[in-house]
Structure 1
C-alpha cells in the first residue's frame, strides 16, 4: 500500500456556486459566491476501503480573503449519516490541513490544534461507518464576499503532514493585527500607556453611589421577602431573581471578566513577533507551561508596571458599574470577584465522570463511580455556603453529548462491547417490563435466547438496523431515565451540601429535544446559551412552563466586521455601532420575557487574533487587546441597562430595531 492517495481535481464535481480550475498537476483553485459553495468527490473515484486503510486527509490551503476562512470537509456513509470537520484558516498564510479520520466515530466535538490551524470542530451525527463512506465534499460557509481558495496536495495519507512554515509575523508588539488600520487602533506603547493611565484616573475619581440600586445590584423599586441569600420569586406575572435584601434583580452579567484571553503560542510561533522573556517583568503574561501568552497582561504591565493587577481591577470594576452590568458572569477572575462588590455566579469544575463513557462526555450514570464522584464534586460548595454575594452556581457548561440532536444514548451504549453499569440496568429494566425474553422478542422482532444476549454487540446490532416501534419506545424511555439520573444525582448532592445558593443548571448549548429537560426540575434556574439576535421567547416559555422554573441565558454575543479582527463570532453585524444596537435589542427583548431572569454576555475581552487555546479568535469583546472599550457598544449597553426595569414591568416598550445580520466567520 502506498503512503498516500492523491485526489486530482478531475475526481471532483463543483456545485452551481463554485468555479473549479486547475493551477498545476497537484493543485487547483475554487471560487465561490458569497452564498458559499464547494465541490464533491464523484462516485467511483475511490474504493470505499481506502477510508479505513488510511488515517488522515491532508492538504495545503491558501486564501487571501478579508477574514478567517472556514472550510467544511464532510463525510457521508450509506445510512446518510454525516460528520463535518469545520476548519479555520487564516488569510494570507499557507496552511497545512490534517483531518484524523479516527474522529469520524463522532466521539470528539473540538479537536486538538495543528500548527498554523485555527479551531477545528466536528458537527453532525454520532459517528459514521468508515467502511461505507459514499460521499466526500469540501465547501465554504457563506461570507460577505466571494472566496478564492487554493488547495494543493490533497490526499489520503498514512501519516500526518510535516508542518514546515516560514517566519511571518502576523501581529504587532501589542497583539494587534498587522497590515490593517481601523478606528480605535492603538498606535504604539506610548499611546497605550497614556490612554490606560488616564482611564485609571477616571476610575479613582468615580462616585459609586448606587442610586436606585441596592448594594447587591437589586432594583429598589420592587421588594420581596429577604432571606440573606439570592433566590427566585414569581410575582404572579413574571419571574425574578431576589437579592439578599429582598430587591428584585434582572441579571445582566458579563462572562470571563479577567485581565486576559490568552493567545495559544505552541504551533503559531511562525506568526508571532519576538515575545518578552518568561522570567522578569513580563513573567505574569506567560502561562506556567509556556504554551500561552497574554498580550492584554503584557500591555497592562507596560502601562502600570508591577502594580498592573490592582490597577486593572479598579478600572474594570469602575467600568462595569458605570456601564450598568450588575453581575460578574461565569469564568471570571477570582481576585476581581473578591475585590468587587458586584454579585457573581460560580462555575463548578470537574463534573462527575466515569472511567468508561457512553458517548463523548456522557458518563456511565448507573455506576457507583458516578455517585461517588458526584459527592466529591458537590464538596466544592462547602467553603461558599455562607457567601451572600454569590447568586448561585452552574454545574457545568455545554455538555458535548447534547450537541447531537436526537442522540440515542441507549443505542450508542448497546453498540459498545463495554459492560456498563447502565447497560446492566437497561437489561434489568427490560426484564422487569417484559417478564420473559419471548415477549421481548415479539415486541422487538428479535431472536434473543435470554436477556443477557443484549450484552453481545453482534446480537444487538444484527436486529438493530431497523428499530421496531416498541424497541424505539424502549430506547427513548431509557434515554430519559439515563438523562434524569445524569442530572439528578449531582444536583441532589449539591443541594444537600449547599442549601443556601441557587443551582443555575448546566448552560446547555441549546435544547435539541425534550429529553434534555429530564431531571431539570432539580435546578432552581434552567440555564442555556442562546446565540440568536434575541432570546427565544416561545422556547423559554415552554421550558419554564414544564419545569415551573425561571430561565436564564448563560451566553450570547455579537461580533462586527469593522475593526482589527478576522473572525466575528457566532452572530455578526457590519459595524461597531450595529453591534451595540444588537446588544441593546437582545437585553431589552429579553427583559420583556416574563420567564427569563437574566442574560449574560460572552465575553469581556476580544479573543486573540491568532486564537485562544482551541483556536477561537472572535471579535466579541467589550474591550480590545489594548484594554480599550468599543465605545458604540458600551453606550448602547448603558441605554439598555438604564431602562430594562421599565421594560420588564411594562412601563416602556423594548427596543425594537433588529440589526442586519451578516454571515458569521465563526467555527
Structure 2
C-alpha cells in the first residue's frame, strides 16, 4: 500500500514537537521484558494461561514473553503499570504497537482488551499460523471504525490494525491495563509477545493512507494475483473460457451411472424405500439422508447464493475507491441507500454500491440475475456441489427444484422487523409470549409456504433462525440475566413469570431459595421484581432449558402444520453461544440437528456430537487465505489457496466419516466485499468465487475430486474404536528425538491418527509421531483418532531433569458387557494411575452407557467409548465398551 511522503518523513504536531519527542515524553515506556521492575510492569495470568520470559529465538540478547493457553474462554495475561499510574494514549498521532508470533500450525485469535478507568474495549484479530505480526493499537474510533471489520495495514503485510470488537475506550488518557486473550483452534495454543512500544500512528492521515485501496472492479488494489481482472476484456475472456469448461464438466457428470438426479449414491445394495421426498435413516449404523428415489445422499452446498449482501458502504469513505460508476448511468441499479446498519464513523444513512452485481452485469448484460442463477447451478453440477445451503435467493430457487434439478434448504427468520414478540438478550425470543406463535406462523407463511416448498421434492429441509446467543456458559449468563431483569408485573414479562412458577415449585419456600442463592428475600415477590444479583448455575441451566424447550416446541409444531414433508433442521447453533441445555432441548424436536462449526474438522469439544444419536448437518464452515482477493484474516485462515483446498477436503471427509453428519454447507458462495458488507462490516475471503465472479481453481479441483470419492469414503470407512501408545513415559535430553509407537484397534489404521503436544516450547511432534525435545520441562503427547473425539490416549515427555507427569491408562482396551450391567472401571486402570478423586470421566454416547466416578451403567446395546482424564492436565486414555 502506498504511504504519503509527508507521513514517511514524520508528522509534525501543532506544537512543533516531532513524533519522536511526543513518544519520549509519554508516560508509556517501552516494555522489552529485560527487567520488569525497572520497566514498571506487572504481569498476571489466569490459571489456564502459563507464561515465561525467555531469550528470543532471533537473538539471545532480546527477551520475549512466551504464553501457553489451554482454554479459549478464560485464558489471558494482563500487562499493567507496576506503580498503578495509568498510561496516556490519548494523542492519536501515536499508538501502542507490539509484536506477536503465532508458532502454532493453525490460526489462533488474539483478543486485545484495553481497559481504562471507565470501561473496556476488546478487539479481535486472527493471527495466522507460523507468522509474526506487528499489532498497531489504533483506538481512535474516528480512524478505526470505517464500516469494515478489518482494515489493511498500510506498512506491509506483516502488520495488523486492531480489528472488530466490543465495548468502548472512554478515557484513553488513563489506560489501566492491557489484557491479551487467546481464542484458539484446538486444546492448546501459544503466542509469543515482544517489543511493546509507542510508534507513529500509521493511519493518522487516513484519507491519504487508504486512498484508492479498492479498484474499479471492487478488488484490493495493493496486491496482484493470478486471475485478477484489470479490464472488461479480461472479464469477458475469462467468462467465455469458464463457460466452455463448465459445459464439458457438466456433461461428464451427467454421464455418470452412480449418481441419481439428486446427487445421491446409486448403489443398489444400499437402496432404501423410495417415498418421493427426502428423509433420514441409518445404514450400517451411520446416519444418512435418503433421496426421493431411495438412495443415500450426502448434501454439499453453498450458503448465500443470493443477490442481497453484495453491497458495501461508499459514503464516509469515498476516497478508498479508485473509481465508481456514474450514479445515473449504466450501472445505477447497483447503488442503494441504507440506514440502521454498521456505517463508517459519523454516518447514519448513506449510499452503498455492489461491485459483485456490477461485474455480473458486465458479464451477462441487463438480465444478469437470471443468467447468473443459471450459470451458478451449472457450475455447481460441474464442480460436484449437489445442494444449496442457507440463504438461497427465494425468488430464484424456492419451489423450483424441478427447474434446476438441485436439492436445497430453505431459511426462515422469525426475528425480523415484522416479528412483534418480546425479545430477551440479543434477539433470543421470549417463546412464552403468545405473540411468538404468530411471528413464527407469519414468517413460515411469507418466507416458505408462499413458494410452495412443501410441494417441491427437491427441498429437503428448513432452517429457522440462526446463531442465537444463548450464552457461552451458565455462570453470569446474559440471557438468564435478561429474564430476571423483568418485573413480573410488566405485561411483557412472560418468561419471568414462567420462571418464577418453576422456582416456587423447585424451592417450595423462600427460605430454601435463600439458602441456595445466599440471599435474604422475605418473599418470592421480591424476586419477582427486577433482579440483577447472583443466579446459581443450576437455576441458569433450568432457565435456559425452559426457554429453549418452549422455543423449539413452537417452531417444530408450526413446521409440521404448514410444511408437511419438509424436515426441520433446527436453528444453526454455534459453539461459542450455545450451552448444552439448548442442544438437549433441540434434539427433542428437530429432524436434523444443525451446527455452525468453524474448525478444521467437525469435531468440537463443546458440542460432543457423539453423545447424540440423531442426524446432524453443518450449517456453516469455511477457510480463507489472503494470497488472493480480500486481505483480512479469519479464524480459519490458511496460507494459500492450495491450503484452502486441502482444508476443505479434510473437513468434508471428517463429516463423511463421522457416521452422524448428513451434509455440510460452505459459507459462502462468493467473497464478501473487500471493505465489508454494508450491514455489519464483515469482509472475509470466504468464497469459491471472488468479487469479479472468478472461481478459485484449487478449490474447484478439490471439490470435483471429492465428489468422486465422497460416498466411498462414507461407506467404506473402517472405524477405529481404540488406540494405545506403547510408551506411557519418554525421557529425553534437549535435541534428542523419539518415535511414538501407536497401536490401533482394528490394526493398521495409523493414517487416521493425529498427534499434538501440550507444550510445544518443551517438545514438538510431527505428523508421523516423531517427538523432538527443545528445552527442559514436561509435555504430554495426545494421540487421537481424527474421526472420533473419544478415541485418544497420551504419552508423557520429560526433557532434561524434569520429573515424571502423572499418567492414566486402562489395562484392557475393550470390555464386553450385557445391557443393565454396572461395572467399576477404576479396577481396569493400571495400578500406578492417578488417584480416583483426581479423575474426570466421559461417555461418548450417554444413551448407550453413562459413567460417574468410574462406575459405568450399560443402558442399551451398542458400542461406546469411555474416556478418563487427569483433572489438572492432559493425561488421558479411552476404553471401548461393547454392550450386548
Q: TM-score, normalised to structure 2's length?
A: 0.59
Partner of 2:801: none
Partner of 1:226: 274
Aligned-partner SS, 1:311: helix
Which range moves more in the overlay, 487-496 or 329-338? Answer: 329-338
Aligned pair count reads 604
User: How far apart, in 2, do the equivalents of 1:308 and 1:34 lie?
Assistant: 55
Which range moves more in the overlay, 284-293 or 39-48? Answer: 39-48
Pick the structure with greater CA Rg.
2
Contact 1:253 1:327 in 2 (8 A): yes
User: How far apart, in 1, do the equivalents of 2:456 and 2:440 lie?
Assistant: 22
Partner of 2:324: 275
State whether structure 2 residue 386 is matched by structure 1 residue 350: no
Question: 1:601-616 maps to which residues of 2 (within 5 A)?
Answer: 601-613=666-678, 614-616=680-682
Partner of 1:209: 254
The verdict on how the C-alpha distance between 1:453 and 1:538 changes in structure 2, with shifts beyond 3 A counting, is closer
Q: TM-score, normalised to structure 1's length?
A: 0.77
Pick from 167, 175, 178: which aligns with 1:137?
178
The verdict on how the C-alpha distance between 1:210 and 1:151 changes in structure 2, with shifts beyond 3 A counting, is farther
Contact 1:568 1:620 in 2 (8 A): no
User: How far apart, in 2, do the equivalents of 1:18 and 1:267 lie?
Assistant: 45
Partner of 1:622: 688
User: How far apart, in 2, do the equivalents of 1:651 and 1:139 lie?
Assistant: 42
Partner of 1:235: 283
Partner of 1:174: 217
Contact 1:11 1:41 in 2 (8 A): no
Query: How far is 1:508 from its partner?
Result: 1.1
Query: How far is 1:194 from its partner?
Result: 1.2
State whether structure 2 residue 113 is matched by structure 1 residue 74: yes
Aligned-partner SS, 1:296: helix
User: How far apart, in 2, do the equivalents of 1:312 and 1:218 lie?
Assistant: 25
Aligned-partner SS, 1:646: helix
User: How far apart, in 2, do the equivalents of 1:375 and 1:43 lie?
Assistant: 59
Pick from 441, 445, 463: which aligns with 1:375?
441
Question: 1:387-426 maps to which residues of 2 (within 5 A)?
Answer: 387-402=456-471, 408=477, 409-415=479-485, 419=490, 420-426=493-499
Contact 2:215 2:323 in 1 (8 A): no
Which range moves more in the overlay, 348-357 or 483-492? Answer: 348-357
Partner of 1:663: none
Q: Which runs of 5+ in 2 are unaligned?
A: 1-21, 40-61, 68-75, 100-107, 128-132, 152-162, 183-189, 339-349, 720-748, 757-884
Contact 1:224 1:242 in 2 (8 A): yes
Query: How far is 1:354 from its partner?
Result: 6.0
Contact 2:149 2:681 in 1 (8 A): yes
User: How far apart, in 2, do the equivalents of 1:59 and 1:257 lie?
Assistant: 43
Aligned-partner SS, 1:578: helix
Partner of 1:328: 388
The verdict on how the C-alpha distance between 1:191 and 1:218 changes in structure 2, with shifts beyond 3 A counting, is same
User: How far apart, in 2, do the equivalents of 1:489 and 1:15 lie?
Assistant: 58
Can you list the C-alpha shifts for 1:91-138, whole angstroms capped at 9, x where unaligned? 9999974569xxxxxxxxxxx9545764864479xx9999xx995426
Question: 1:409-488 maps to which residues of 2 (within 5 A)?
Answer: 409-415=479-485, 419=490, 420-457=493-530, 460-461=531-532, 464-465=533-534, 471-488=536-553
Query: How far is 1:264 from its partner?
Result: 2.9
Query: How far is 1:565 from its partner?
Result: 2.7
The verdict on how the C-alpha distance between 1:430 and 1:251 changes in structure 2, with shifts beyond 3 A counting, is same
Partner of 2:52: none
Query: How far is 1:387 from its partner?
Result: 1.8
Query: How far is 1:308 from its partner?
Result: 2.8
The verdict on how the C-alpha distance between 1:144 and 1:270 changes in structure 2, with shifts beyond 3 A counting, is farther
Query: How far is 1:327 from its partner?
Result: 0.6
Aligned-partner SS, 1:246: coil
Query: How far is 1:63 from its partner?
Result: 8.9
User: How far apart, in 2, do the equivalents of 1:434 and 1:321 lie?
Assistant: 60
Partner of 1:665: none
Query: How far is 1:449 from its partner?
Result: 1.9
Partner of 1:261: 310
Partner of 2:787: none
Contact 1:284 1:297 in 2 (8 A): no
State whether structure 2 residue 533 is matched by structure 1 residue 533: no
Pick from 405, 410, 414: which aligns with 1:341?
405
Say which structure, 1 or 2, has more relative contact order (CA 8 Å, 6+ apart).
1
State whether structure 2 residue 642 is matched by structure 1 residue 577: yes
Aligned-partner SS, 1:393: strand
Question: 1:48-59 maps to which residues of 2 (within 5 A)?
Answer: none
Partner of 1:637: 703
Contact 1:262 1:608 in 2 (8 A): yes
User: How far apart, in 2, do the equivalents of 1:524 and 1:76 lie?
Assistant: 46
User: How far apart, in 1, do the equivalents of 2:413 and 2:298 lie?
Assistant: 26
User: How far apart, in 1, do the equivalents of 2:306 and 2:34 lie?
Assistant: 43
Partner of 1:196: 239
**Superposition RMSD on alpha carbons, in Å?**
4.7
State whether structure 2 residue 351 is matched by structure 1 residue 291: yes
Pick from 489, 495, 498: which aligns with 2:560?
495
Query: How far is 1:165 from its partner?
Result: 3.2
The verdict on how the C-alpha distance between 1:149 and 1:501 changes in structure 2, with shifts beyond 3 A counting, is farther
The verdict on how the C-alpha distance between 1:448 and 1:363 changes in structure 2, with shifts beyond 3 A counting, is same
Contact 2:147 2:681 in 1 (8 A): no
Aligned-partner SS, 2:557: helix
Aligned-partner SS, 2:424: strand
Partner of 1:303: 363
Q: Which runs of 5+ in 1 are unaligned?
A: 1-5, 23-30, 51-55, 101-111, 155-161, 661-667
The verdict on how the C-alpha distance between 1:374 and 1:532 changes in structure 2, with shifts beyond 3 A counting, is same
Pick from 20, 23, 27: which aligns with 1:10?
27
The verdict on how the C-alpha distance between 1:364 and 1:335 changes in structure 2, with shifts beyond 3 A counting, is closer
**Structure having the larger proportion of residues in strand:** 2
Query: How far is 1:186 from its partner?
Result: 2.4
